[in-house]
A = this chain, B = another copy of it.
Amino acid sequence: MGHRSLLLLLLAFLSPGAASPVSPSLRATSSLPWSTSFRARPTITLKYSIRYIQQKVDHFGFNINRTFKQRYLIADNYWKEDGGSILFYTGNEGDIIWFCNNTGFMWDIAEEMKAMLVFAEHRYYGESLPFGADSFSDSRHLNFLTTEQALADFAKLIKYLKRTIPGARNQPVIALGGSYGGMLAAWFRMKYPHLVVGALASSAPIWQFNDLVPCDIFMKIVTTDFSKSGPNCSESIRRSWDAINRLAKKGPGLRWLSEALHLCTPLTKSQDVQHLKNWISETWVNLAMVDYPYESNFLQPLPAWPVKVVCQYLKYFNVPDTVMLQNIFQALNVYYNYSGQLKCLNVSETATSSLGVLGWSYQACTEMVMPTCSDGVDDMFEPHSWNMKEYSDDCFKQWGVRPRPSWIPTMYGGKNISSHTNIIFSNGDLDPWSGGGVTKDITDTLLAIVIPNGAHHLDLRASNALDPVSVQLTRSLEVKYMKQWISDFYVRLKKMN
């Protein structure tokens, strides 16, 4: 699980075996109680324009003069020139339309904040490909996929918008982002405080680098979520690994496992078993991240409180291995097949294809090295130590580059960020990434909000009747602070004129 994306756990170095479906007997999930009751969350009417800006491929060198089209979305339905603001989403590792659709909070507060909404796509994701189809072809083409270049894109875009949109020039801009996008929002405020008056960094694990936090913190939080969501749930998962190992060793074990788990591609060799376990681990991790209090469709269509639903199948750990694995299947099926449409489970996918797999894998092999580990004792996963050398070698094999794990703390300050101002760090306590996040106020303008029963950037999602009070309160606090930044901005502006 080395190349862990914040939103998408990449199955490291998956062998791209041919996908021949083998599970005609898949009973699908028609027996699952919620599969028929699935309905889409009421859609917010998102009216935005899709636009493009020419960006330098290399902001930090002058030898390459090539440009590319960065996509961004803009919505000004509620924008007011007089006393308004610009809410700027610092796009992360995926298609910006998908992030736009999943950041209902900005839409919900647009009117109240007289805000223009801007969603900027991150280079090398979605349609914003510096070298088109060749963007991921080798390390030379990928050389411009860094956080610094992405932030510079944002800076140029903001300058451009202010220059070209009448009335925008003297308006305060606030950076908002979730997950990796939350890191970018925070870092943007740190590095370009002249362009944004503040940042809302939701679920941004800016400290999940080097040894700033223990590498096992992430998996511990996942485990806690499962422990709290049903009796014996994490213990069942902890024991499932050995059950898989034992089954895999038996003669027809791989075949049995493939069928019991309704895998699209049957396991054929022992290496496949490790992939299977990685895939299952990542499924639990994803579930912890999206353990939202209502039906949702972020990484996958899911019921409300999906970890609780999953845990209903994992109540018993003292069961034969075959029963354990059938239970595991039912649990996985909650995540992968809530809609009941799926014929088989695909171990090479864990989430929406709106996320950019290749781009993140490269970022994880260069700047975004976020150590994780597990011990199987304080967490429910197989023991897995953090081995920087192995990680680096794998990166070199895959991309021809070696990670620089201490660069991000050197660049963005690590834990020593107290001289910055106007950043809100929000984290849900269910979210495994909260372990690397800022969960205590640093100063009176570097604020931390912890959302009890909140999963990954729950606060950035559209408000929902089933929202816990905690997230409602969080959002109103966030609005309060952002309004303060805006009013401070206008006070300063008035003084200057």
Contact = CB atoms under 8 A, between A and B. Distances in A.
A18 interface: no
A239 interface: no
Grouping DSSP codes into helix (H, G, I), strand (E, B) and loop, the A interface class, with mixed when no group exceeds half, is loop
A24 B410 CA distance: 59
B410 A156 contact: yes
A148 B140 CA distance: 20
Interface in A375-430: 401-402, 404, 406-407, 410-411, 413-414, 416-422
Interface string A155-199: 110010000000000000000000000000000000111100000
Interface string A411-451: 10110111111100000000000000000000000000000
Given A193-B413, A416-B194, A421-B419, A366 B402 contact: no
Number of copies: 2
A143 B418 CA distance: 34
B63 A419 contact: no
Interface in A36-72: 56, 59-65
Contact of A140 (B63, B193, B410): B63
A141 to B, nearest CB: 9
A56 B194 CA distance: 29
Given A155-B410, A410-B159, A139 B193 contact: no
- Shortest 5 CB-CB distances between A and B: which pairs? A194-B413, A194-B416, A63-B143, A193-B419, A62-B401
10 contacts: A60-B60, A60-B146, A63-B140, A63-B143, A63-B401, A64-B143, A192-B413, A193-B413, A194-B416, A419-B422
Interface of A: 56, 59-65, 139-140, 142-144, 146, 148-149, 152, 155-156, 159, 191-194, 366, 401-402, 404, 406-407, 410-411, 413-414, 416-422, 492
Given A63-B143, A65-B402, A419-B421, 13 more contacts: A59-B407, A60-B61, A61-B144, A62-B142, A62-B143, A62-B146, A62-B404, A152-B410, A152-B411, A159-B410, A191-B191, A193-B413, A194-B417
